[in-house]
Amino acid sequence: MSLSPFPESYWLSSVDIPEFPALENTIETDIAVIGGGITGITTAYLLAKEGRKVTLATAGRLIGGTTGYTTAKVTAQHDLIYDEYLAHFGEEKARLYYRANQEAVEFIARLVEREGIDCDFVREDAYVYGTSDSSVDKIRKEYEAYERLGIPGAVVTELPIPVPVRAAIGMRNQARFHPVPYLVHLIKEFVRMGGVVYEHTTVKTVEESEPIRANVRDGVSILCRDLVSAAHFPVFESGLFFARLHAGSSYVLAARVPGELPAGMYISADSPTRSVRTVEYGGERLLLVGGESHKTGESACTIRHYEALEQWAREVFGAVEFPYRWSSNDFITTDNLPYIGRINEKKPHSYVATGYRKWGMTTGTVAALLLTDLLMGRANPYEELYSPSRLKLDPDVKTLVKQNADVAGHFIGGKLEWLSRKTEELKPDEGALVRIDGKKTGAYRDPEGELHLVDATCTHMGCEVKWNNADRTWDCPCHGSRFDYRGEVIEGPAAKPLAKVKE
């Protein structure tokens, strides 16, 4: 494989992001926004424009979570979703979903133009394409849904990319952009308007009292009237989100290809998924190729997903170099519709936004606009659609039962798994599960030969983590928590690191 040895996001590598301190003392604020991605930053920016006293806090660096590992398509075409939404939610709600996301596209477009943000914002058509008989049938049904919902679109049989397309459905006048300069601009404006930002500030627990207390560590908290959880996984214990969400992983390569880059954005209706879009920023011209989705923690060899994308990019586009590679992880709800809004009527000051199903650029913007209206006491036409307290019999209950059966299987299987590896067998840059004094332990030997040992039991709910050899992380197959090789939390729901182990 000719890929870079360690994962690196092009987005995060190509633009400088301002740094902010960690929270050291208890503070009080009107509204606390937890999460430094597109949802949290946009929400904080909009609330500051409304004159509210807002504090933005994030567990790591700003834009360092899911937003920094996106493909950054700004579109209301989220795979073949509208036929499914018609069947499960009805015509009115399916139409509202399209309108909400198309409004988000236009919001970003207006803001970029008005503020003069240099972020490679380009209007392009988006396509879902099929190469098999079954996918052609799905595309036909999706087009019927477009017509019924009044979505501008068309079915075509040829595309400007060299793939054997049987049929494709296009959504006109969508967009792509570079998310980092866009969000850096919003951060700077937020601070200029009096907003306060804290990085490296992990909220461990939340006391939903009056005022709400978001606890960072002993003696250090954020006190606020309203708290918005815009983090990867909700910071609230209420809502049972661990049982109503499952985590999915996918992979991206940034490739250099000869000749002209294709216009448009593309994603396959067939499996394994293939996603394609171009980047032209700061003199760099790259083709982003993504896909290879699976549930987080459930792939035995994660590097093979990058290898599959590399082979496809070489064969189809003649790609010659792959300077960047990264993986993306996001949560999916039981009914495939995000949770955005008040947790429930009994928690009027607790707000959440999660479950974007890897379509965070528009959904995160939808969330910011909706949450701002709710916090300002204004009506919003999408409040009921995205309500986090909803539970539909179809398909929620069936999916809920299946997901939690999978969790139980992973929990039991992880405890009983037989381990034969020994620490002395690990080569440099190799990780595996081993047993030390009879206890399952995560072991990684770094390129310099130093051994790093951590307790393999996830600190969220006690499942056993799996080694991700492509990203050098410990991933939990139960609820999607991810830890670096030293055991530090990368993504929740876990809030505490894996315990260190001595050999």
Instruction: For 412-464, write each residue's pLDDT tens digit.
Output: 444 445 455 777 788 888 888 888 876 889 899 988 888 999 998 999 888 89
pLDDT of res. 242 = 78
Cα 474 from chain centre: 18
pLDDT of residue 100 exceeding 50: yes
119 or 433, greater pLDDT: 119
Residue 161 lies in a domain: yes
CATH number of the structural domain spanning residue 153: 3.30.9.10
74 or 402, greater pLDDT: 74
Confidence of residue 149 (pLDDT cuts 50, 70, 90): very high
Considering the domain architecture, whether residues 269 and 386 belong to the same structural domain is answered as no
Burial of 88 (0-12, 13-18, 19+ CB in 10 A): middle
Considering the domain architecture, whether residues 51 and 187 belong to the same structural domain is answered as yes
- Poorest-pLDDT segment among 164-178, 241-255, 369-383: 241-255
Confidence of residue 406 (pLDDT cuts 50, 70, 90): low
Residue 87 lies in a domain: no
**Residue that terminates a domain, selected from 332, 361, 377:** 332
pLDDT of residue 140 exceeding 70: yes
pLDDT of residue 409 exceeding 90: no
Distances (CA, A) of 457 to 43, 61, 260, 293, 466: 35, 26, 49, 25, 10
Considering the domain architecture, whether residues 368 and 474 belong to the same structural domain is answered as no
Cβ–Cβ contacts within 10 Å for residue 480, how many? 28
Give residue 223's identity as a one-letter amino acid code: L
Considering the domain architecture, whether residues 194 and 271 belong to the same structural domain is answered as no
Residue 92 lies in a domain: no
pLDDT of residue 408 exceeding 50: no
Residue 11 lies in a domain: no
Cα 471 from chain centre: 16
Considering the domain architecture, whether residues 131 and 157 belong to the same structural domain is answered as yes
Considering the domain architecture, whether residues 451 and 303 belong to the same structural domain is answered as no
Q: Which residues contact 192 (CB under 8 A, 6 or more apart)?
A: none
Considering the domain architecture, whether residues 136 and 283 belong to the same structural domain is answered as yes
Pairing of strands 122-130, 73-74: unpaired
Confidence of residue 98 (pLDDT cuts 50, 70, 90): very high
Residue 94 lies in a domain: no
Q: Which long-range contacts (CB under 8 A, 24 or more apart) does 462-468 make?
A: 462/411, 463/407, 463/410, 463/411, 463/414, 464/410, 464/411, 464/414, 464/415, 464/417, 464/433, 464/440, 465/297, 465/498, 466/297, 466/298, 466/433, 467/431, 467/432, 467/433, 467/442, 468/297, 468/299, 468/302
Instruction: For 297-352, write each residue's pLDDT tens digit.
Output: 777 788 999 999 999 999 999 999 999 999 988 999 999 999 999 998 888 999 99
Share of the chain above pLDDT 70, in %: 93
Quick one: DSSP state of residue 394?
I
Residue 410 lies in a domain: no
Torsion angle of alpha carbons 236, 239, 243, 247, nearest 10°?
-50
Considering the domain architecture, whether residues 184 and 310 belong to the same structural domain is answered as no
Confidence of residue 185 (pLDDT cuts 50, 70, 90): very high
pLDDT of residue 177 exceeding 80: yes
pLDDT of residue 103 exceeding 80: yes
CATH number of the structural domain spanning residue 356: 3.50.50.60
Model pTM score:
0.89
pLDDT of res. 414 = 47
Instruction: For 16-48, write each residue's pLDDT tens digit.
Output: 999 999 999 999 999 999 999 999 999 999 999
Burial of 148 (0-12, 13-18, 19+ CB in 10 A): middle
Closest C-alpha to 386, from 104, 69, 28 = 104
**Residue that terminates a domain, selected from 285, 311, 332:** 332
**What is the pLDDT averaged over residues 273-290?**
94
pLDDT of residue 404 exceeding 80: no
Total structural domains in the chain? 3
pLDDT of residue 411 exceeding 50: no
Quick one: DSSP state of residue 465?
P
- 192 is in which domain, residue-wise? 16-70+180-243+336-399
**What is the pLDDT averaged over residues 69-85?**
97
Distances (CA, A) of 267 to 103, 328, 365: 22, 16, 21
pLDDT of res. 418 = 45
Considering the domain architecture, whether residues 358 and 229 belong to the same structural domain is answered as yes
Considering the domain architecture, whether residues 277 and 254 belong to the same structural domain is answered as yes
Cβ–Cβ contacts within 10 Å for residue 237, how many? 13
- Where do runs of H (alpha helix) occur along 27-90? 38-49, 82-89
Residue 8 lies in a domain: no
Residue 291 lies in a domain: yes
Dihedral sign computed on CA atoms, order 281, 282, 284, 285: positive
| Separation between Cα atoms, residue 286 and residue 113, nearest integer Å | 24
Considering the domain architecture, whether residues 231 and 347 belong to the same structural domain is answered as yes
- Where do runs of H (alpha helix) occur along 271-351? 303-317
Which range, 56-65, 396-405, 409-418, is most confident?
56-65
**What is the pLDDT averaged over residues 133-139?**
94
- Poorest-pLDDT segment among 131-135, 219-223, 385-389, 447-451: 447-451
Confidence of residue 480 (pLDDT cuts 50, 70, 90): confident
CATH number of the structural domain spanning residue 484: 2.102.10.10
**Residue that terminates a domain, selected from 349, 371, 399:** 399
Considering the domain architecture, whether residues 199 and 167 belong to the same structural domain is answered as no
